[in-house]
Structure 1
Amino acid sequence: MTSLLNRVARTAAAACIAGVLLAGAGRASARPEIPTVTAPAGAVRGRVEGDILSFKGIPYAAPPVGQNRWRPPLPAASWTGVKDASVYGPACIQPTPGAPNVYSDNLGATSEDCLTLNVWTGSTHGKAPVIVWIHGGALVAGSSKERLYDGARLASEGVVVVSINYRLGVLGYLAHPDLSAESPAGISGNYGLLDQIQALRWVQANIEAFGGDPDNVTIAGESAGGLSVMYLLASPLARDLFDKAIAQSAYMISTPELKTARFGAPSAEGAGSALALRLQAPSLRVLRGMDPQTLTDQAAMSGFGPFGVVDGVVLPRQLVDVFDRGEQAQVPILAGFNSGEIRSLRILAPPAPASAADYERIIRERYGDLADEFLRLYPSSGLAESILATTRDALYGWTSERLVRSQTAAGHPSFLYLFDHGYPAADQAGLHGFHASELPYMFGNLQRTPPRWPRIPAEPGEAALSDAMVDYWTSFARTGQPEAGGAPRWSPYAADGAYMAFRAAPEPSAGLMPGMFALHEQTMCRRRAGGSLAWNWNTGLASPVLPPADPACR
């Protein structure tokens, strides 16, 4: 049924485009007219890409430059005439690339004037569901114009796809006492997150002109994009701007607080003040006068780590506390992670000890009464794999299951997945199910991967898996229920712990990694109760000694 509906939607979209673009008085050789849309923000002229219309580089906020650096975003100024929207805008400023890796790609020009978005649509008529994509990159790097994120294939299934840029690194997440002092709310940081919220406001005001339904918006992102999805779920400022959420490889880590050092991290303002000292910048005037690329590179080399800030306004409290109190957005969620997350992120895993005996000794010293369960899940007999699995589960596995548990408990059917797919080039490189490897499949962009990405074979099985994932993702955006023609039913997470495993094909399953969630939930709870330890990648061999059992941690 879903496949039939998808074919009907594609046929209708093609017919609408033919009508809108004036194929040229019946002449077969006539070229279609370039598509123009007049939205409340202004008129834009895009491109025809097969059966899809694309509009790229549309400004959704004023340039955050000069005295607007480190201020909440302002709406973009309206324009007269028709703005060209045929090419992507520049990526936001990010650190100068180092040694290439599997994710490296040429993003072209970067700029502080980067707050733009892109739209793909099958028709400018009607009210199609909307997916707003938030790119990953550790809140440091990345761009909406990465080839993996081309939205044409998703749009061919009858949804409108929007991808956004947002401020990164020190330009997007610096907190500082002087910045807080000049803020009417007395806060600073979270500028990149506020950009995302401004983009969602733009969608509410303008997406209907592109054929989208502002009352059926799904936010979606992977890695730091998944973290951003959780921040948006937690932020009161984003309430009512979206209706569903997709979090891929998200990580519900502890987050710096604006004025208080907690959970092993300095206050966000304190970290900002320390950075200014290292940069020999005695005032905001000096900081705002620095070249943005130089500032970004020097901040990165100084160890500045961009995170959201618990400021009581944009982010009211720690993510785990927001979800435990039921204060998050009350929407369905689709969430999951990949079996080989850390295979391409080995910097997040601690080095192996000299022997299996050393491994067991360290784990017993660090985990105390939880050590037996830890060693059952991550045994010394498979030391290398256990180290990778520990970090994977503490960051991504635990987070994914926590999200669907929280939303299910709140009465919103939610869906869990594990991407455990391999193919020859990835498996030969030791990258089975690596971080972000689901993206070409769920975007339908198997041949749009970065240069060093293991090449996906052009085989029917790969295309079939991608088609199923595209169907599941767009169906969830449409109705809140992921469905795919000819593929198994994806049951919502419930008492049996239902999830979908994506291997050679979708496989309905239940009871993901028994004991995994409970162990990492207990670890987080004890650290939170103690107040002095972070819960993130300091896990397993890298874990500090855990606090003893606490009555608050059942």
Structure 2
Amino acid sequence: MTFARFAAAIAALCLGMSVEAAAQPVVKAPAGIVRGIEADGQQMFKGIAYALPPVGERRWQPPQPVPTWDGVRDATQFGPACQQPGYPAGSIYTETYPAMSEDCLSLNIWTPAKAKNAPVFVWIHGGNLIRGSSSQPMFDGAALAKRGIVVVSINYRLGIFGYFAHRELSAESPEGISGNYGLLDQIAALQWVKNNIASFGGDGANVTIAGESAGGLAILHLLAAPRAHGLFTKAIVQSASLMNLPDLKQARFGLPSAETISDYYATAFGARTLADLRAIDGPTLTALATKARFVSTAIVDGKLLPRQLVETFERGEQARVPVMTGFTSGEIRTMASILPGLPDAGQFDAAKYEAAIRANYGELGDRFLSLYPAADMRESILAAARDGFFAWTSQRLVREQAALGQPSYLYYFDHGYPAADDRGMHAFHASEVPYMFGTIDRVTAQWPAIPDTDTERALSDAMIDYWASFARTGVPTARNQPSWPSHGAKAGYMLFAAKPQVAYDLLPAQYALHDQVICRRRAAGNIPWNWNMGLIAPPLPPAQETCK
């Protein structure tokens, strides 16, 4: 028995634990004492509650701190996933969870056994703000912890539980707002990290927040939310969108107010009052929300999110921190079902495609067709959605952050491998995640299997290095790999293909086109800028002096 284990055994006995339990690490944090797992020079603590369960009469209220607990809490098992519907049939992202509950506000920590003042990396999972969990094997933090990083992953309220606004909830709130409960959970988790992470060897003054897809969107929310500022020092945004959000009380940009939308859902659920809604049990409410096609989205409430995300970044009101952001070349290949009008072979000929684009895009129609031609309509439609949703966001974000004088780093993941490419899924949405976590052997059962080769492991090792280095210093570097340039004046970025390589000026004509289209829609004030691109785009508003 090492001295450290001997000391842990003595401490455990003093706390009333068995000698067998003493082989597990025990940490005394301000929140309370927890017992975790130690293996391979690392410690892991699972399922630590960071806020009280938002159930029953507390459903749709801000998270409240957990009182300091007595005794030793077991932290060897993941907490329940937040209550959620199943995945669509055939989804490669399908996961199953041993337990789901509204009592889901927990976090997990991976830490080097002898960590002290180590940089902290907080991961927020994706899943369309409806599905997902911090317990997914792909999000295992061990590889990053081996680079000297303390990794934290969190659960937060999802779907109808996390993003439901209602007039009675707004009236009940001292701030007169409702709806952003998942965002409030994320802020509460970051506050817990700030107060407690030193006990686990982390530096609460060096915290990087990171997420992909809806998790990346959550990072944009946190960058834009004044209440979150000061709780993190760097941000990583993977495959997210500066899409427009519903306003709490006003109809704007083609969307009804969030409170108006809630009336529709309450009626669909057969509920007349807030008390009726709170009386519905969690699984039943989840099923009702799924049947009613509940759209889970953050809300511009004037307090947590003062204004539309892109407006916040334009005004320089976001958190002034270094940012790393990027997207994959095949983002839409596993999400084509979200694009109504995606033509099958023989359904839509080239002449009809070109006519529809010219009708939708007016004087910009020829520019659109030069970038997304009719020669391969399916590929053009997928590329246009990728560029207008993900690519525009990533490039806009690095530009706005650089304008604040903050280092900003852009990446483009264009890596393929046989099992994915053979299924027409080259560099699909989220395909970079197992590489940057070092979990290429722990993808879902439906995920195209990543081969165990030197090439795949080398790319993964490089990405782990870059992500860990950014968390450590704000500058992404990797052993024996090219230096990643800050976006800056030369518009440099890192291309992840067979291996990392530096490139410049990513998709410039595509960015300029979509920036113009989105600017005109914003100026019109009554058109969303979400997935409505290409064949499903509304008529282009007139040119504006402010859109040049």
Q: Specify which of 37, 42, 47 is matched with residue 37 of structure 2.
A: 47
Deviation at 1:370, TM superposition (A): 1.2
| Cα separation, 2, equivalents of 1:101 and 1:262 | 33
1:21 counterpart residue number: 5
Distance change in 2, residues 1:54/1:360 (3 Å): same
Q: 1:302 — aligned with what?
A: 292
Identity %: 55
Match of 2:228 in 1: 238
Q: How does 1:392-403 map onto structure 2 within 5 Å?
A: 392-403=386-397
- The residue identity in structure 1 corresponding to 2:124 is I
Q: Please tell me the root mean square deviation across aligned C-alpha atoms, in Å.
A: 1.5
CA distance in 2, matches of 1:114, 1:543: 39
Alignment equivalent of 1:351, drawn from 324, 331, 342: 342
Q: Which residue of 2 aligns with 1:7?
A: none
Q: Which amino acid aligns with 1:20?
A: A
Match runs of 1:303-382 below 5 Å: 303-349=293-339, 350-352=341-343, 354-382=348-376
Q: Are 1:407 and 2:401 matched, yes or no?
A: yes
Name the SS for the 2:135 alignment partner: coil
Matched, 1:487 2:481: yes
Counterpart Cα distance in 1 of 2:310 and 2:280: 36
Question: Does the Cα contact within 8 Å between 1:348 and 1:391 map onto a contact in 2?
Answer: no
Does the CA-based 8 Å contact 1:121-1:210 persist in structure 2? yes
Deviation string 1:129-148 (CA, Å, 9 cap, x unpaired) is 00000000000000000111
More displaced 10-residue stretch of structure 1: 251-260 or 376-385: 376-385
Match of 2:255 in 1: 265
SS of 1:330's equivalent? coil
Tell me the residue number matched to 2:164: 174
**1:439 aligned residue:** 433
User: Secondary structure of 1:298's match?
Assistant: helix
Q: Please identify, of 457-466 and 516-525, the stretch whose mean Cα deviation from structure 2 is larger.
A: 516-525
Matches within 5 A, 1:187-266: 187-266=177-256
What per-residue deviation string (whole Å, max 9, x for no partner) do you get for residues 354-390 of structure 1?
1111111101000011112111111112211111101
1:106 to partner: Cα distance: 1.3
User: One-letter code of the match for 2:378?
Assistant: A
- Preserved CA contact (<8 Å) 1:23 1:33: no
Render the CA deviation track for 1:407-455: whole Å, top value 9, x for unaligned: 1111011100000000111111111100000011000001010001111
Contact in 2 for aligned 1:394/1:520 (Cα 8 Å): yes
Task: Confirm or deny that 1:416 pairs with 2:406.
Answer: no
1:117 lines up with 2:134 in the alignment: no
Q: Distance in 2 between matches of 1:124 and 1:326?
A: 39
Cα offsets for 1:477-524 (capped at 9, x unmatched): 000100000011100001221000000000100010121111111111
Which range moves more in the overlay, 507-516 or 94-103?
Answer: 94-103
Equivalence for 1:34? 24
8 Å CA contact 2:115–2:148 kept in 1: the answer is no
Q: Does structure 2 retain, via aligned residues, the 8 Å contact 1:96–1:297? A: no
Where does residue 553 of structure 1 map in the other structure? 547
Per-residue Cα deviation, 1:258-294 (whole angstroms, up to 9, x for no partner): 0001111110011111111111101111100101111
How far has the Cα of 1:22 moved from its partner?
A: 3.9
- CA deviation string 1:183-217 (max 9, x = no partner): 00000000000000000000000000000000000
Structure 1 contact 24–31 (Cα < 8 Å) conserved: no
Whether the 8 Å CA contact 1:264–1:533 is kept in 2: the answer is yes
Q: Distance in 1 between matches of 2:202 and 2:172?
A: 38
Q: Secondary structure at the match of 2:452?
A: coil
Q: Specify the code of the residue in structure 2 equivalent to 1:21.
A: R
Q: Quote the offset at 1:77 in angstroms.
A: 2.2
- Cα distance in 2, alignment partners of residues 343 and 97 from structure 1: 17
Which residue of structure 2 lines up, in the alignment, with residue 9 of structure 1?
A: none
TM-score, with length taken from structure 1: 0.94
1:72–1:194 Cα contact (<8 Å) kept: yes
Q: 1:123 deviation in Å?
A: 2.9
Give secondary structure in 1 for the equivalent of 2:508.
coil
Deviation at 1:121, TM superposition (A): 0.1
CA contact (8 A) 2:223 2:318 kept: yes
- Which residues of structure 2 form unaligned runs of 5+? 10-19
Map Cα deviations across residues 221-276 of structure 1 (whole Å, 9 max, x no partner): 00000000000000011010000000000111000000001111110011111111
Runs of 4 or more above 2 Å deviation: 17-25
Aligned to 2:122: 132
Measured after TM superposition, the shift of residue 31 of structure 1 is 10
In the TM superposition, what whole-angstrom CA distance separates every residue of 1:27-84 from its partner, at most 9, and x where no partner exists? xxx9982100000000000001322100000000000001110001001122100000
2:14 is matched with: none
Residue 536 of structure 2: which of 527, 542, 546 is its match? Answer: 542
The answer for the alignment partner of 1:77 in structure 2 is 67
Offset of residue 549 of structure 1 = 0.5
1:500 corresponds to 2:490 = no
Q: Which amino acid aligns with 2:303?
A: V
* Aligned positions, number: 534
Residue 472 of structure 1 aligns with an amino acid whose one-letter code is Y
Separation in structure 1 between the aligned mates of residue 477 and residue 87 of structure 2, nearest angstrom: 40
Deviations 1:129-170 (A, max 9, x none): 000000000000000001110101111100000000000001
- What is the aligned counterpart of 2:140 among 150, 157, 163? 150
Give 1:513's aligned amino acid: L
Q: CA deviation at 1:18?
A: 6.0
Alpha-carbon separation, structure 1, partners of 2:238 and 2:417: 20
Q: 1:103 aligns with which of 93, 97, 101?
A: 93
Kindly provide the amino acid, as one letter, of the partner of residue 312 in structure 2: V
* TM-score of the pair, normalised by structure 2: 0.95
